[in-house]
Amino acid sequence: VKGQEILCIEDIKERADANLPEIAREFYNSGSTYQTTIAENSSSFNKYRLLSRVLVDVSRLTTQTECLGRTVKFPLGVSPAGLQAMAHPDGELATSRACARMGVNMAVSSFANYTVQQIVSAGQTQAETDGVGPGGPHYAMQLYMMRDRALQERIMAAAEGAGCKAIFLTADSPVLGVRFNEWRNDFRTPDGLGFPVLGWTSEMIRRATHDTSFMSFNDDTHSWARDVAWLRSRTKMEIWIKGVLAAEDVELAIEYGCDGVLVSNHGGRQLDGVPSTLDALVECVDAAKGRIPVHMDGGVRRGSDIFVALALGARHVWVGRPAIWGLGYKGQEGVEKTLEVLYEDFRRCMALCGCRTVADIKRSCLRRMGIDGV
């Protein structure tokens, strides 16, 4: 129908917003306190202009790249975001199947509403059905350091057993950021949904707020010196640190032997007022000096945003809310639509900038507003 097409992530968000109750919508869409960082995550992309190039043969352009030991269709994956079954009953299973169809990787939240085995096998089954080759997506398991180390070990063993390739250790959350909506709406996990990764049934969390649930297991004594070595001694999965913004923390990640860092401010849900991830990316890439890969997430809403992040040195980019909006719009099909919109836009952006491979996407493809003469 004319006027009904979905052309961009904003179109998908609008439909998801219309489908979801206000409490769920605010839980997903909000950042912490004054919403400064969440807004800047997206607006920072406007600091850059794309330098299109002419007369480059792009007929054999490829968007493929490597992520977590696998060739992916393009440099985008789905970030670990909890409580996806509140957006659609199939939740993380639908996200996983969509990732399989679209040839990208997925990170599984500790607050997923399905087990890691269920999530991974949903993607693998989809990949087999589609005949896209064995295995399907590669998965990362998102973890926090937990006071109950025996439970943390069981979660890691389950993730490794399910075939996850990496741990994304979310390191930015010794305490949770304050999201006003959760307090004002007295947000509770909807009845019937549990957190099976953590072993929590719906009954166990019925009366708890998100904040009290989190504080009940999270270990705020976490540290580089103790915990990276501990993780390394207990798993063969790669160890990535999620939530890095400072060059000094990139140095520490390298010093402690981490496999990579994910520049992230938790989608603006932790400390409000930190730099946007795109701004932080530049100093983190400079600090890494190519010694470990630097990924980023936060505010990516267009294919050209992926391009800008790569031009500034990110090896790969992840999205949180756009996948959730896809779920809220239309389950698996909606997440596929999200990934497709971003893929098509990214591919077109590469072609118009004269980049034939992802490796061609360099700092010289950009001009910085107000600085480089634009």
Q: How many CB atoms lie within 10 A of CB 2?
A: 4
Site residues (CB under 6 A) for ligand FNR, limited to 61-90? 79-82
Interface pattern 224-253 for ligand FNR (x via CB under 6 A): ------------------x-----------
- Least distance from ligand FNR to the Cβ atom of residue 272, Å: 14
Is 303 among the residues that bind ligand FNR (CB under 6 A)? no
Among 111, 114, 307, 343, binds ligand FNR (CB under 6 A): 111
301 in a known ligand binding site = yes
- For residue 79, the minimal CB distance to ligand FNR (Å) is 4
Task: Give the nearest distance from C-beta 269 to ligand FNR in angstroms.
Answer: 6
Count Cβ neighbours within 10 Å for each residue of 239-268 and write b for 16 or more, e otherwise: bbbbbbbebebbebbeebebbbbbbbbbbb
Cα 109 to the chain's mean position, in Å?
10
Among 40, 182, 249, 297, binds ligand FNR (CB under 6 A): 297
360 contributes a contact to ligand FNR by CB under 6 A = no
Query: What is the three-class DSSP state of 65?
Result: strand
Q: Which is nearer to ligand FNR, 103 or 320 (CB)?
A: 320
Positive or negative CA dihedral for 244, 247, 253, 254? Answer: positive
Site string for ligand FNR, 150-189 (x = CB under 6 A): --------------------x-------------------
Q: Does 213 bind ligand FNR (CB under 6 A)?
A: no
In angstroms, how far apart are the furthest CA atoms of the chain?
A: 62
Please tell me the distance from the alpha carbon of residue 154 to that of residue 160, in angstroms, as a whole number. 10
Q: Is 108 in the site for ligand FNR (CB under 6 A)?
A: no
- How many Å separate Cα 210 from the centre of its chain? 20
Of the residues 20, 319, 335, 339, which one makes contact with ligand FNR according to CB under 6 A? 319
User: For residues 136 and 68, what is the distance between their CA atoms, to the nearest angstrom?
Assistant: 12
Do the Cβ atoms of 189 and 202 come closer than 8 Å? yes
Residue number with CB closer to ligand FNR (328 or 360): 328
The answer to whether 298 is annotated as binding is yes
Handedness of CA 255, 259, 264, 267 (dihedral sign): negative
Looking at beta carbons, which residue is closest to ligand FNR?
320
Determine, following the binding rule CB under 6 A, whether residue 270 of this chain makes contact with ligand FNR: no
In angstroms, the CA 279 to CA 308 distance is 11
Rounded distance, CA 339 to CA 349, Å? 15
**Radius of gyration, CA atoms only, the chain:** 20
Question: How far is C-alpha 214 from the chain's CA centre?
Answer: 20
Q: Would you give the distance in Å from CA 220 to the centre of its chain? A: 23
Q: Please, which residue, 75 or 82, has the CB nearer to ligand FNR?
A: 82
- With binding defined as CB under 6 A, does residue 138 bind ligand FNR? no
DSSP conformational letter for 196: T
Among 25, 28, 162, 237, binds ligand FNR (CB under 6 A): 28
Q: Phi, psi at residue 78, to the nearest 5°? A: -100, 120
What is the rounded CA–CA span in Å between residue 76 and residue 277? 15
Under the criterion CB under 6 A, does residue 41 sit at the interface with ligand FNR? yes
Catalytic residue among 210, 266, 295, 316: 266
Looking at beta carbons only, is 162 or 319 nearer to ligand FNR?
Answer: 319
210 is catalytic: no
Annotated binding site for FMN: 80-82, 109, 142, 170, 242, 264, 297-301, 320-321
Q: Which residues bind ligand FNR (CB under 6 A)?
A: 28, 41, 79-82, 109-111, 142, 170, 242, 264, 266-267, 269, 297-300, 319-321
> What residues act catalytically?
266
